[in-house]
Structure 1
Amino acid sequence: MASITPRDIAFDALIEILEKGKMSHLVLAAVLRKYAYLPKQDRAFLSRLVLGTVEYVIREDAVLDRFSKIRCAKMKPPVRTILRMGVYQILQLDRVPDSAACNEAVRMAKARGLSGLSGFVNGVLRNISRNKDALVFEGPEKYCLPPWMIGLFSRELGNDRASRMMEAFFRPEPMTVRVNLDRALPDEVRDSLLAQGIRAVPIYGDGQVLALCGVDSPDRIDVLRDGRASVQDLSSSLAGDAAGIRPGDTVVDVCGAPGGKAIHAADILRGTGQVIVRDISGQKVELIRENIAASGFSNIRAEVWDAAAFDPSLEEKADVVIADLPCSGLGVIGRKPDIRIRSTPEKIRDLSALQREILGTVWRYVKPGGTLVYSTCTLTGAENEDNVRAFLAACPFSPVDIRGRLGTEFQEPSMAEGMLKLLPGEHPCDGFFICVMRRNDE
């Protein structure tokens, strides 16, 4: 029996993602754990093939509709998946010969009992290969985004900024970690990473946030296993720094999975104060607890709680409340490509309403004079600035001038009003929104 190949594994993963609606990052993480024995080169190709096929699926389907007599939507799911993988390799992977992409697609079709369609698969892909240099992509096919999303970005950001950002979504983002300064110094962490063959490039905060090059399996990185550093995007780290947390504070993180911001808060507290981090499900909280255990911090505890439900025991108990709320995730499209095809205007509307509901609950945990940090990993006005304006009009809070809290790297005019919007293509991080507000003294 022939051994399973990275393409075979990718096919199974893509069926789960594109045909059954599962999230790409969860499926791929499970696959990489299952096939951890594969050589590093095979794991890298597998990851790229899965995420790339999802990332470019709008373009792939458009190309297939041009060259196939059968519309992509009418194809059998296994055939559609094999063809999408083939188109991705032909159009996007220069190191894969087109002949190999075609031959492997035919092999996969036959191996899955689709011998009668192998000629169709071969003909479509070879026709695309012959004509690929003449293909021109515009609009949704160019950016691999639905028309409504392109229109939204253009209206809110302007055509030029929107174009730069949408192009930046295609650029691979490195894995980033934040050094836990209560546990280690940045130079020590960089030396440890280098000893494992991982180059770390400082990108913020005197080396506290590092971009990593040469990562294969994060589970095997020593500084993450022993708590000297934590996986966290730069944008998420900025939310913790903007909060102005001080030693002795009580910090409540109301939607905290997987725990990065809460662990950052515990690090800032240097063993003082307390961090309470919550999320809605036991599974998410278990993940938080695993990350807390790895960090080694003792001034932090995780609890299961629905952020939309008021908890009287926390009323006016928190110096800082972190509300990084459920959102459409349009800022992290570069890391979670299935958002390109799953998000809808209706979901954004519903999420905006949920965010307002949660804000209307959790502000009551903030002491008079305390701080509320509202953040999302999305870029829509409905989920960000509009929610802030509605909240400030209804609740006893005022914006906090956060200029100077994020060093010299970030000096946007909006920071004077407590807000910072980070855009891929303009900032070295995911798309993100932060707003810091102070509860008025009563």
Structure 2
Amino acid sequence: MLSNPVYDPFLILTKVYSDGAHVKQAIADTYIEEQYRARTVKIVYGVLENDGYFEFCIRRYAEKAPKLAVRTILKISLYMLLYMDKKRYMVTDCAVELCKKLGKSGVSGFVNAFLRRFDKEAVDKAIRTDAVKYSYPAYAYDKLKKEYGDRAQAIAAARSAGVSVRFVKNADEYLQKPHITTPFSQKYGHYIFENFPRDEKFDDGDYTFQSVGSIAICDCVAACGNMLDACAAPGGKSVLLAGKCKQVTSFELHEHRVELIKAYKTRMGVENITERQKDSAIFDECYEEKFDGVLCDVPCSGFGTVSENPDIKLFRKAEDFKALAKSQTEILATCSRYVKKGGALYYSTCSIFEEENDEIVGAFLKTHTEFSVEEIDSPLSHDKKKYGLQFLPDTAYGAGFYVCKLVKRV
């Protein structure tokens, strides 16, 4: 077995680059010795976060584009060299050894020469666009620049603040560990840690890993009797909402994701959730005006979560936005019919782009005059838009998301 510093990250990144696997699933599907896990995950995420920059580096030094396996080896090496303070000779030796173990001895000379010649200062001087500098897709960075001006740089550069943990019980023993902050005071037992290895108390439901965005969105939802979580998997929001609502119904399109909700509520010991396999974009008269509150946390581009899901920057394309807007519009319109008169409809995304957020709400209000906007607030730093609240990664612990509250006229 080759030493883990390069081999395990190579296996995982190959699944992402070659097979289009989601990074979290690729990590879950790869056996990693526990002593190497933190380092391996750090390298994998680091490479994906900086993929655009690394591609530029490779193009700068290679006369013709190397094949995928070689590019992956070079990216791992560049990350170790630039962000892990590893000695150049050690990084080079690991890369050359990996080439040989993979049966690619023919390119080991090129890899060796590349890493010995690489000069970050010269590369950085050659960069002409912020999209390359921050490893952002050009089309997406153009959107950022158009909507946020000079703040686009800070948004694109934002990284995750750490591991987001919500405690339900027995928190004291864990709070002795170094933690960064608690964005919601102690209201939800929510803390962000520099590092938080999962242990047996996770299976006991003492705590759960839940994003800043998920908790902030639920914080904006008012307590009520019957609540519908229209796009519910994996179940974190449903479980949190169940703490302040009498009954929660959770819709999810795919059967395997319904099972995730079941497992989540069981682990957390929550009994007032009923899950249903259902397409939230297709109206079901059984639920017409049945709910006091409906949360539509719709599928979106996910650009507010690139610090947690850096592979989004690789696979999300400009042409995806049209189909996403259609789906978002359909889900919001359909689920609005499930809201009782006087009830509340919440629309949320993990996007930072207006076309998925305020624009969707504005178009909805033009054709659904029975709804009006009700102002909401959050203790978390945010921008107030025309209809809802926009949270951005540079001021919300690396998370970007949107939430709006609409009330149905009696």
- TM-score higher than 0.5 here? yes
- Tell me if the contact between 1:193 and 1:200 (Cα under 8 Å) persists in the aligned partners: no
Shift of 1:311: 1.6
**Secondary structure class of the residue paired with 1:316:** coil
**Secondary structure class of the residue paired with 2:397:** coil
In structure 1, C-alpha distance between the alignment counterparts of 2:391 and 2:308, rounded to whole Å? 15
Which residue of the partner structure matches residue 274 of structure 1?
247
Cα–Cα, structure 1 residues 4 and 98, in superposed 2: closer, same or farther, change >3 Å?
A: closer
Which residue of the partner structure matches residue 202 of structure 1?
182
Shift of 1:429: 4.5
**Secondary structure class of the residue paired with 1:255:** coil
Which residue of the partner structure matches residue 157 of structure 1?
148
In structure 1, C-alpha distance between the alignment counterparts of 2:405 and 2:372, rounded to whole Å? 9
1:260 aligns to 2:236 (yes or no): yes
In structure 2, C-alpha distance between the alignment counterparts of 1:260 and 1:369, rounded to whole Å? 26
Shift of 1:92: 2.6
In structure 2, C-alpha distance between the alignment counterparts of 1:172 and 1:18, rounded to whole Å? 22
Cα–Cα, structure 1 residues 245 and 59, in superposed 2: closer, same or farther, change >3 Å?
A: same
- Counterpart pick for 1:245 among 218, 223, 229: 223
Shift of 1:330: 0.5
In structure 1, C-alpha distance between the alignment counterparts of 2:359 and 2:264, rounded to whole Å? 33
Which residue of the partner structure matches residue 134 of structure 2?
143
Which residue of the partner structure matches residue 423 of structure 1?
392
Which residue of the partner structure matches residue 87 of structure 1?
78
- Tell me if the contact between 2:382 and 2:391 (Cα under 8 Å) persists in the aligned partners: no
**Secondary structure class of the residue paired with 2:216:** helix
In structure 2, C-alpha distance between the alignment counterparts of 1:204 and 1:221, rounded to whole Å? 25
Shift of 1:3: 5.0
In structure 2, C-alpha distance between the alignment counterparts of 1:411 and 1:53, rounded to whole Å? 29
In structure 2, C-alpha distance between the alignment counterparts of 1:263 and 1:371, rounded to whole Å? 19
Equivalent residue runs for 1:225-244 within 5 Å: 225-244=203-222
Which residue of the partner structure matches residue 308 of structure 1?
281
**Secondary structure class of the residue paired with 2:321:** helix
In structure 2, C-alpha distance between the alignment counterparts of 1:115 and 1:413, rounded to whole Å? 57
Which residue of the partner structure matches residue 29 of structure 1?
28
Matched residues, percent identical?
30
- Counterpart pick for 1:51 among 45, 50, 72: 45
Matched residue type, 1:38:
E
Equivalent residue runs for 1:81-120 within 5 Å: 81-94=72-85, 96-120=86-110
TM-score (norm: length of structure 1): 0.87
Cα–Cα, structure 1 residues 286 and 236, in superposed 2: closer, same or farther, change >3 Å?
A: same
**Secondary structure class of the residue paired with 1:313:** helix
Which residue of the partner structure matches residue 196 of structure 2?
215
Of 228-237 and 257-266, deviating more is 228-237
Which residue of the partner structure matches residue 312 of structure 2?
339
**Secondary structure class of the residue paired with 2:348:** strand
Equivalent residue runs for 1:406-417 within 5 Å: 406-407=378-379, 409-410=380-381, 412-414=383-385
Shift of 1:346: 0.8
Q: How many residues align?
A: 405
Equivalent residue runs for 1:307-386 within 5 Å: 307-386=280-359
TM-score (norm: length of structure 2): 0.93
- Tell me if the contact between 1:233 and 1:429 (Cα under 8 Å) persists in the aligned partners: no
1:166 aligns to 2:153 (yes or no): no
Q: What stretches of structure 2 of length at least 5 have no aligned partner?
A: none
Cα–Cα, structure 1 residues 14 and 352, in superposed 2: closer, same or farther, change >3 Å?
A: same
In structure 1, C-alpha distance between the alignment counterparts of 2:82 and 2:314, rounded to whole Å? 20
- Tell me if the contact between 1:204 and 1:234 (Cα under 8 Å) persists in the aligned partners: no
Shift of 1:306: 1.2
**Secondary structure class of the residue paired with 1:340:** helix
In structure 2, C-alpha distance between the alignment counterparts of 1:4 and 1:429, rounded to whole Å? 32
Matched residue type, 1:300:
I
Deviations 1:395-434 (A, max 9, x none): 121101214xx34x557544xx651100011223510000
Deviations 1:200-239 (A, max 9, x none): 74221435221123313x3x152x3333433222221121
Deviations 1:94-137 (A, max 9, x none): 2x111111111100000011112211111112111xx2233314
**Secondary structure class of the residue paired with 1:135:** helix
Shift of 1:310: 1.3
Which residue of the partner structure matches residue 193 of structure 1?
174
Matched residue type, 2:214:
S
- Tell me if the contact between 2:382 and 2:389 (Cα under 8 Å) persists in the aligned partners: no
Cα–Cα, structure 1 residues 69 and 148, in superposed 2: closer, same or farther, change >3 Å?
A: same
Shift of 1:147: 1.5
Of 80-89 and 346-355, deviating more is 80-89
Cα–Cα, structure 1 residues 78 and 386, in superposed 2: closer, same or farther, change >3 Å?
A: same
Shift of 1:198: 6.3
In structure 2, C-alpha distance between the alignment counterparts of 1:164 and 1:429, rounded to whole Å? 10
